[in-house]
Amino acid sequence: MAGDGNSIPELEQEKYDSDEQVKIICLGDSAVGKSKLMERFLLDGYRPQQLSTYALTLYKYTTTINGKPVLVDFWDTAGQERFQSMHPSYYHKAHACIMVFDVQRKVTYKSLSNWYKELREYRPEIPCLVVANKIDADMRVTQKSFNFAKKQGLPFYFVSAADGTNVVKVFKDSINMALSYKKNSSDFMDEVMRELENFELESKEDSSDKGEKPNEGKTDLV
Residues near ligand GTP (CB under 6 A): 28, 30-36, 78, 81, 133-134, 136-137, 160-162
Nearer CB in complex with Mg ion: 80/180? 80
3-state secondary structure (DSSP) of residue 168: helix
- State the residue number with the nearest CB to ligand GTP: 33
User: Least distance to ligand GTP from the beta carbon of 73, Å?
Assistant: 17
Q: x/- contact string, 42-81, with Mg ion (CB under 5 A)?
A: ----------------------------------------
Nearer CB in complex with ligand GTP: 29/181? 29
Nearest to 128 by CA among 141, 142, 118: 118
The answer to whether 98 touches 38, Cβ cutoff 8 Å, is: no
User: Least distance to ligand GTP from the beta carbon of 211, Å?
Assistant: 53
Alpha-carbon dihedral of residues 221, 83, 152, 187, nearest 10 degrees?
Answer: 40
User: Least distance to ligand GTP from the beta carbon of 6, Å?
Assistant: 26
With CB under 5 A as the contact rule, the residue among 13, 35, 80, 89 that binds Mg ion is 35
Angle (CA) 99-122-198 rounded to 5° is 165
CA dist., res. 12 & res. 19, Å (int) = 15
Options 30-38, 107-115, 159-167, 198-206: segment touching Mg ion (CB under 5 A): 30-38
What's 6's DSSP letter?
A: G
From the list Mg ion, ligand GTP, none, which binds 93 (C-beta under 5 to 8 Å, kind-based)?
none
Burial class (CB in 10 A: 0-12, 13-18, 19+), 175: buried
**Binding residues for Mg ion (CB under 5 A):** 35
